[in-house]
Chains A and B, each alone.
Chain A
Amino acid sequence: MEHAGDGRRPPSGDAPDDGRLVARVQEGDGDAFDTLVRRHMRRAFSIAFRLLENRADAEDLVQEAFLAALKGIDSFEPGRPFGPWLFRIVVNRGLNARKARSLRRTEALPIDVIARAPPPDRDAERAELHDALAGALERLDGQRGAIVRLHELEGFTSPEIAAMLELAEGTVRWHLHQARAELREVLGAFGRNAAGETSIEERKP
Protein backbone atom coordinates (compact mmCIF):
# COMPACT_ATOMS: atom_id res chain seq x y z
CA MET A 1 0.00 0.00 0.00
CA GLU A 2 1.47 3.32 -1.01
CA HIS A 3 1.06 6.28 1.27
CA ALA A 4 2.50 9.71 0.92
CA GLY A 5 4.55 10.68 3.92
CA ASP A 6 4.78 7.31 5.58
CA GLY A 7 7.90 8.37 7.41
CA ARG A 8 9.98 5.56 5.91
CA ARG A 9 11.61 7.42 3.07
CA PRO A 10 13.49 10.71 3.35
CA PRO A 11 11.80 13.56 1.49
CA SER A 12 13.04 13.93 -2.04
CA GLY A 13 14.52 17.01 -3.70
CA ASP A 14 15.02 20.18 -1.69
CA ALA A 15 12.36 19.37 0.88
CA PRO A 16 13.75 19.79 4.39
CA ASP A 17 14.01 16.61 6.40
CA ASP A 18 11.85 15.97 9.44
CA GLY A 19 14.64 16.79 11.90
CA ARG A 20 15.08 20.30 10.53
CA LEU A 21 11.34 20.84 10.45
CA VAL A 22 11.00 19.73 14.07
CA ALA A 23 13.77 22.15 15.10
CA ARG A 24 11.87 24.97 13.40
CA VAL A 25 8.58 23.91 14.99
CA GLN A 26 10.28 24.05 18.38
CA GLU A 27 10.88 27.72 17.69
CA GLY A 28 7.23 28.24 16.76
CA ASP A 29 7.47 28.06 12.95
CA GLY A 30 3.93 27.46 11.68
CA ASP A 31 5.02 26.72 8.10
CA ALA A 32 7.33 23.95 9.30
CA PHE A 33 4.51 22.46 11.35
CA ASP A 34 2.18 22.61 8.34
CA THR A 35 4.78 20.79 6.22
CA LEU A 36 5.10 18.07 8.85
CA VAL A 37 1.32 17.73 9.06
CA ARG A 38 0.89 17.42 5.30
CA ARG A 39 3.76 14.96 5.07
CA HIS A 40 2.44 12.55 7.71
CA MET A 41 -1.31 13.05 7.96
CA ARG A 42 -2.29 10.43 5.38
CA ARG A 43 -0.37 7.65 7.00
CA ALA A 44 -1.58 8.78 10.45
CA PHE A 45 -5.16 8.79 9.19
CA SER A 46 -4.78 5.32 7.71
CA ILE A 47 -3.53 3.95 11.04
CA ALA A 48 -6.24 5.80 12.94
CA PHE A 49 -8.91 4.41 10.63
CA ARG A 50 -7.60 0.86 11.01
CA LEU A 51 -7.99 1.22 14.76
CA LEU A 52 -11.31 3.05 14.89
CA GLU A 53 -12.98 2.04 11.61
CA ASN A 54 -14.78 5.34 11.45
CA ARG A 55 -13.75 8.25 9.25
CA ALA A 56 -14.81 11.09 11.53
CA ASP A 57 -13.25 9.47 14.60
CA ALA A 58 -10.06 8.83 12.64
CA GLU A 59 -9.87 12.48 11.52
CA ASP A 60 -10.39 13.62 15.11
CA LEU A 61 -7.70 11.24 16.26
CA VAL A 62 -5.24 12.60 13.68
CA GLN A 63 -5.91 16.15 14.85
CA GLU A 64 -5.47 15.24 18.50
CA ALA A 65 -2.30 13.30 17.76
CA PHE A 66 -0.67 16.21 15.90
CA LEU A 67 -1.60 18.64 18.68
CA ALA A 68 -0.25 16.25 21.31
CA ALA A 69 2.93 15.89 19.27
CA LEU A 70 3.29 19.68 19.13
CA LYS A 71 2.82 20.00 22.88
CA GLY A 72 5.45 17.36 23.51
CA ILE A 73 7.79 18.37 20.69
CA ASP A 74 10.58 19.21 23.15
CA SER A 75 10.75 15.55 24.14
CA PHE A 76 11.38 14.52 20.53
CA GLU A 77 14.93 13.27 20.21
CA PRO A 78 16.75 14.97 17.32
CA GLY A 79 18.08 12.55 14.75
CA ARG A 80 15.26 10.04 15.20
CA PRO A 81 12.51 9.69 12.59
CA PHE A 82 9.43 11.79 13.28
CA GLY A 83 6.90 9.41 11.67
CA PRO A 84 7.13 6.49 14.12
CA TRP A 85 7.14 8.95 17.03
CA LEU A 86 3.89 10.49 15.76
CA PHE A 87 2.35 7.10 14.94
CA ARG A 88 3.03 5.93 18.48
CA ILE A 89 0.84 8.80 19.69
CA VAL A 90 -1.83 7.85 17.14
CA VAL A 91 -1.81 4.20 18.20
CA ASN A 92 -1.84 4.91 21.93
CA ARG A 93 -4.68 7.37 21.61
CA GLY A 94 -6.49 5.09 19.20
CA LEU A 95 -6.32 2.19 21.64
CA ASN A 96 -7.67 4.43 24.40
CA ALA A 97 -10.50 5.55 22.12
CA ARG A 98 -11.33 1.93 21.27
CA LYS A 99 -11.40 1.08 24.95
CA ALA A 100 -13.71 4.00 25.68
CA ARG A 101 -15.92 3.06 22.75
CA SER A 102 -16.20 -0.56 23.84
CA LEU A 103 -17.68 0.67 27.12
CA ARG A 104 -20.56 2.24 25.24
CA ARG A 105 -20.78 -0.48 22.63
CA THR A 106 -24.55 -0.87 22.99
CA GLU A 107 -25.12 2.36 21.07
CA ALA A 108 -25.71 2.48 17.34
CA LEU A 109 -22.97 1.08 15.10
CA PRO A 110 -20.80 3.64 13.32
CA ILE A 111 -21.66 4.13 9.70
CA ASP A 112 -18.48 2.50 8.42
CA VAL A 113 -19.32 -0.70 10.29
CA ILE A 114 -22.77 -0.72 8.75
CA ALA A 115 -21.15 -0.11 5.37
CA ARG A 116 -19.21 -3.31 5.88
CA ALA A 117 -22.32 -5.33 5.01
CA PRO A 118 -21.60 -7.31 1.84
CA PRO A 119 -22.58 -5.74 -1.44
CA PRO A 120 -25.29 -7.62 -3.35
CA ASP A 121 -22.89 -8.97 -6.01
CA ARG A 122 -20.48 -10.40 -3.50
CA ASP A 123 -20.21 -14.11 -3.25
CA ALA A 124 -22.25 -15.25 -0.24
CA GLU A 125 -19.69 -17.72 1.05
CA ARG A 126 -16.85 -15.26 0.93
CA ALA A 127 -19.04 -12.62 2.48
CA GLU A 128 -19.83 -14.93 5.35
CA LEU A 129 -16.14 -15.80 5.82
CA HIS A 130 -15.14 -12.16 5.72
CA ASP A 131 -17.78 -11.21 8.25
CA ALA A 132 -16.58 -13.99 10.53
CA LEU A 133 -12.97 -12.81 10.14
CA ALA A 134 -13.96 -9.21 10.79
CA GLY A 135 -15.79 -10.34 13.92
CA ALA A 136 -12.78 -12.37 15.07
CA LEU A 137 -10.50 -9.40 14.45
CA GLU A 138 -12.86 -7.21 16.45
CA ARG A 139 -12.79 -9.68 19.33
CA LEU A 140 -8.99 -9.67 19.59
CA ASP A 141 -8.05 -7.67 22.63
CA GLY A 142 -6.87 -4.06 22.21
CA GLN A 143 -3.14 -4.40 21.85
CA ARG A 144 -3.18 -7.71 19.98
CA GLY A 145 -5.84 -6.42 17.64
CA ALA A 146 -3.79 -3.29 17.00
CA ILE A 147 -0.69 -5.36 16.26
CA VAL A 148 -2.57 -7.50 13.73
CA ARG A 149 -4.10 -4.44 12.07
CA LEU A 150 -0.77 -2.62 11.85
CA HIS A 151 1.05 -5.67 10.49
CA GLU A 152 -1.48 -7.35 8.22
CA LEU A 153 -3.41 -4.32 7.03
CA GLU A 154 -0.92 -1.45 7.23
CA GLY A 155 2.19 -3.43 6.37
CA PHE A 156 4.35 -2.36 9.33
CA THR A 157 7.12 -4.78 10.28
CA SER A 158 7.49 -6.30 13.74
CA PRO A 159 10.38 -3.97 14.72
CA GLU A 160 8.37 -0.94 13.62
CA ILE A 161 5.36 -2.05 15.65
CA ALA A 162 7.59 -2.85 18.62
CA ALA A 163 8.99 0.68 18.50
CA MET A 164 5.53 2.18 18.15
CA LEU A 165 3.98 0.29 21.04
CA GLU A 166 7.15 0.29 23.14
CA LEU A 167 7.17 -3.51 23.29
CA ALA A 168 9.90 -6.08 22.79
CA GLU A 169 10.09 -7.36 19.23
CA GLY A 170 9.57 -10.91 20.48
CA THR A 171 6.38 -9.86 22.24
CA VAL A 172 5.02 -8.42 19.01
CA ARG A 173 5.85 -11.63 17.15
CA TRP A 174 4.23 -13.72 19.88
CA HIS A 175 1.04 -11.63 19.70
CA LEU A 176 1.02 -12.01 15.93
CA HIS A 177 1.52 -15.76 16.21
CA GLN A 178 -1.34 -16.11 18.72
CA ALA A 179 -3.66 -13.86 16.74
CA ARG A 180 -3.00 -15.75 13.53
CA ALA A 181 -3.76 -19.02 15.26
CA GLU A 182 -7.13 -17.61 16.33
CA LEU A 183 -7.87 -16.26 12.88
CA ARG A 184 -6.79 -19.48 11.19
CA GLU A 185 -9.44 -21.26 13.23
CA VAL A 186 -12.01 -19.09 11.53
CA LEU A 187 -10.61 -20.08 8.16
CA GLY A 188 -10.64 -23.71 9.27
CA ALA A 189 -14.25 -23.44 10.40
CA PHE A 190 -15.10 -22.44 6.86
CA GLY A 191 -13.55 -25.65 5.52
CA ARG A 192 -10.51 -24.12 3.94
CA ASN A 193 -8.68 -26.91 2.04
CA ALA A 194 -4.99 -27.26 1.24
CA ALA A 195 -5.36 -25.33 -1.99
CA GLY A 196 -6.74 -22.38 -0.07
CA GLU A 197 -10.27 -22.80 -1.43
CA THR A 198 -13.15 -22.20 0.90
CA SER A 199 -16.42 -24.01 0.60
CA ILE A 200 -19.56 -23.76 2.66
CA GLU A 201 -20.26 -27.45 1.98
CA GLU A 202 -16.98 -28.43 3.63
CA ARG A 203 -17.63 -26.17 6.58
CA LYS A 204 -17.12 -27.86 9.93
CA PRO A 205 -20.10 -28.11 12.25
Chain B
Amino acid sequence: MTEERETGTGSGAGRAIRGTVDDELRGHLRQSVPPPPMDAVAWNDLARTIGSRAESCLRARRRLPWWRHASRWARAGIPLAAAAILALALLVPRAAPHVVRPTAARLGSAATSTPVGAGVAASDTSVDPVLAFLSAADDGESLLMSALEEE
Protein backbone atom coordinates (compact mmCIF):
# COMPACT_ATOMS: atom_id res chain seq x y z
CA MET B 1 0.00 0.00 0.00
CA THR B 2 1.35 3.44 -0.78
CA GLU B 3 0.11 6.74 0.52
CA GLU B 4 0.09 8.27 -2.96
CA ARG B 5 -2.44 5.65 -3.94
CA GLU B 6 -4.45 6.44 -0.83
CA THR B 7 -4.43 10.17 -1.38
CA GLY B 8 -4.84 9.89 -5.13
CA THR B 9 -2.39 12.65 -6.03
CA GLY B 10 -0.88 12.88 -9.51
CA SER B 11 -1.63 11.06 -12.74
CA GLY B 12 -2.17 7.31 -12.94
CA ALA B 13 1.24 6.65 -14.54
CA GLY B 14 2.95 9.00 -12.08
CA ARG B 15 1.30 7.26 -9.18
CA ALA B 16 2.34 3.86 -10.50
CA ILE B 17 5.97 4.97 -10.82
CA ARG B 18 5.92 6.58 -7.37
CA GLY B 19 4.33 3.43 -6.00
CA THR B 20 7.22 1.39 -7.39
CA VAL B 21 9.69 3.86 -5.91
CA ASP B 22 7.93 3.67 -2.56
CA ASP B 23 7.98 -0.11 -2.59
CA GLU B 24 11.69 0.03 -3.34
CA LEU B 25 12.19 2.68 -0.66
CA ARG B 26 10.39 0.50 1.87
CA GLY B 27 12.59 -2.44 0.94
CA HIS B 28 15.75 -0.40 1.37
CA LEU B 29 14.51 1.10 4.63
CA ARG B 30 13.86 -2.33 6.07
CA GLN B 31 17.38 -3.34 5.22
CA SER B 32 18.80 -0.07 6.56
CA VAL B 33 17.67 -0.49 10.13
CA PRO B 34 18.22 -3.57 12.24
CA PRO B 35 15.13 -5.76 12.72
CA PRO B 36 13.86 -6.13 16.29
CA PRO B 37 15.88 -8.92 17.93
CA MET B 38 12.80 -10.97 18.83
CA ASP B 39 14.81 -14.15 19.40
CA ALA B 40 17.21 -12.43 21.79
CA VAL B 41 14.54 -11.41 24.29
CA ALA B 42 13.78 -13.67 27.24
CA TRP B 43 10.01 -13.26 27.00
CA ASN B 44 9.13 -15.28 30.09
CA ASP B 45 11.59 -13.29 32.20
CA LEU B 46 10.24 -10.04 30.81
CA ALA B 47 6.64 -11.04 31.56
CA ARG B 48 7.62 -12.16 35.07
CA THR B 49 9.45 -8.90 35.73
CA ILE B 50 6.46 -6.88 34.60
CA GLY B 51 4.18 -9.05 36.74
CA SER B 52 6.29 -8.67 39.86
CA ARG B 53 6.58 -4.90 39.39
CA ALA B 54 2.81 -4.73 38.95
CA GLU B 55 2.04 -6.81 42.05
CA SER B 56 1.78 -3.91 44.53
CA CYS B 57 -0.54 -2.02 42.21
CA LEU B 58 -2.73 -5.11 41.67
CA ARG B 59 -2.81 -5.81 45.42
CA ALA B 60 -3.98 -2.26 46.07
CA ARG B 61 -6.73 -2.79 43.50
CA ARG B 62 -7.91 -5.95 45.25
CA ARG B 63 -8.34 -3.89 48.45
CA LEU B 64 -10.37 -1.16 46.81
CA PRO B 65 -13.60 -0.31 48.65
CA TRP B 66 -16.81 -1.39 46.94
CA TRP B 67 -17.68 2.13 45.86
CA ARG B 68 -14.43 2.43 43.86
CA HIS B 69 -15.41 -0.67 41.91
CA ALA B 70 -18.93 0.69 41.58
CA SER B 71 -17.59 4.04 40.38
CA ARG B 72 -16.29 2.33 37.25
CA TRP B 73 -19.89 1.84 36.23
CA ALA B 74 -20.59 5.53 36.70
CA ARG B 75 -20.04 6.23 33.01
CA ALA B 76 -23.04 4.06 32.15
CA GLY B 77 -24.87 4.30 35.47
CA ILE B 78 -25.23 8.07 35.75
CA PRO B 79 -27.05 8.58 32.43
CA LEU B 80 -29.26 5.56 33.16
CA ALA B 81 -30.14 6.91 36.61
CA ALA B 82 -30.83 10.35 35.15
CA ALA B 83 -33.09 8.81 32.51
CA ALA B 84 -34.94 6.77 35.16
CA ILE B 85 -35.49 9.85 37.35
CA LEU B 86 -36.76 11.81 34.36
CA ALA B 87 -39.13 9.01 33.42
CA LEU B 88 -40.45 8.83 37.00
CA ALA B 89 -40.89 12.60 37.13
CA LEU B 90 -42.97 12.43 33.96
CA LEU B 91 -45.03 9.37 34.89
CA VAL B 92 -45.85 10.00 38.60
CA PRO B 93 -47.84 13.25 38.18
CA ARG B 94 -50.01 11.53 35.57
CA ALA B 95 -50.74 8.62 37.87
CA ALA B 96 -51.17 10.74 41.02
CA PRO B 97 -54.72 12.24 40.46
CA HIS B 98 -56.34 8.80 40.29
CA VAL B 99 -54.68 7.40 43.41
CA VAL B 100 -53.83 10.19 45.83
CA ARG B 101 -56.72 12.62 45.69
CA PRO B 102 -59.61 10.36 46.83
CA THR B 103 -57.54 9.08 49.76
CA ALA B 104 -56.47 12.57 50.78
CA ALA B 105 -60.03 13.88 50.57
CA ARG B 106 -61.32 10.98 52.69
CA LEU B 107 -58.65 11.52 55.36
CA GLY B 108 -59.28 15.25 55.36
CA SER B 109 -63.02 14.87 55.97
CA ALA B 110 -62.42 12.28 58.69
CA ALA B 111 -59.98 14.59 60.47
CA THR B 112 -62.42 17.50 60.57
CA SER B 113 -65.52 15.42 61.54
CA THR B 114 -64.05 13.49 64.52
CA PRO B 115 -63.43 15.27 67.84
CA VAL B 116 -59.92 13.86 68.30
CA GLY B 117 -58.90 15.15 64.88
CA ALA B 118 -60.53 18.55 65.27
CA GLY B 119 -57.27 20.26 66.24
CA VAL B 120 -55.53 19.34 63.02
CA ALA B 121 -55.97 21.55 60.03
CA ALA B 122 -57.74 19.89 57.14
CA SER B 123 -55.13 21.11 54.70
CA ASP B 124 -52.32 19.33 56.68
CA THR B 125 -54.12 16.02 56.83
CA SER B 126 -55.01 16.12 53.19
CA VAL B 127 -51.29 16.44 52.48
CA ASP B 128 -49.97 13.89 54.98
CA PRO B 129 -52.14 11.13 56.48
CA VAL B 130 -49.31 10.11 58.83
CA LEU B 131 -49.28 13.61 60.36
CA ALA B 132 -53.04 13.39 60.87
CA PHE B 133 -52.67 10.07 62.69
CA LEU B 134 -49.87 11.33 64.96
CA SER B 135 -51.62 14.54 65.95
CA ALA B 136 -54.82 12.60 66.66
CA ALA B 137 -52.84 10.29 68.94
CA ASP B 138 -51.36 13.33 70.75
CA ASP B 139 -54.81 14.75 71.33
CA GLY B 140 -56.11 11.46 72.65
CA GLU B 141 -53.19 11.19 75.04
CA SER B 142 -53.73 14.71 76.40
CA LEU B 143 -57.48 14.02 76.92
CA LEU B 144 -56.63 10.86 78.84
CA MET B 145 -54.09 12.73 81.03
CA SER B 146 -56.58 15.50 81.90
CA ALA B 147 -59.25 12.91 82.83
CA LEU B 148 -56.80 11.15 85.15
CA GLU B 149 -55.86 14.45 86.80
CA GLU B 150 -59.55 15.28 87.45
CA GLU B 151 -60.03 11.96 89.18
Contacts and interface: CB of A to CB of B under 8 A. Distances in A.
Given A34-B51, A37-B51, A130 B31 contact: yes
Interface in A25-59: 25-30, 33-34, 37-38, 41-42, 45-46, 49-50, 53, 55, 58-59
Interface of B: 1, 3-4, 6-7, 17, 20-22, 24-26, 28-34, 36-38, 40-41, 43, 46-47, 49-51, 53-55, 57-64, 69, 72
27 contacts: A26-B61, A27-B61, A30-B55, A33-B54, A33-B58, A37-B47, A37-B51, A38-B43, A41-B46, A45-B38, A45-B46, A46-B36, A46-B38, A50-B33, A50-B36, A53-B33, A53-B34, A63-B53, A66-B50, A70-B57, A112-B34, A176-B3, A177-B3, A183-B25, A184-B21, A194-B17, A196-B24
Contacts of A115: 34
Interface of A: 25-30, 33-34, 37-38, 41-42, 45-46, 49-50, 53, 55, 58-59, 62-63, 66-67, 70-71, 74, 112, 115-116, 126, 129-131, 133-134, 137, 148-149, 152-153, 157-158, 173, 176-177, 180, 183-184, 187, 192, 194, 196
A94 B134 CA distance: 73
Given A28-B58, A187-B21, A133 B32 contact: yes
A50 B25 CA distance: 17
A59 B26 CA distance: 26
Contacts of A59: 41, 46
A56 B62 CA distance: 32
Contacts of A134: 32-33
A74 B72 CA distance: 7
Contact of A153 (B24, B30, B40, B64): B30
B47 A41 contact: yes
Given A152-B29, A196-B24, A67 B53 contact: yes
A183 B46 CA distance: 35
Contacts of B31: 126, 130
A137 to B, nearest CB: 7
Given A27-B69, A63-B46, A184 B55 contact: no
Contacts of A46: 36, 38
B43 A42 contact: yes
A46 B33 CA distance: 13
Contacts of B63: 28
A25 B47 CA distance: 15
Given A42-B38, A46-B36, A183 B29 contact: yes
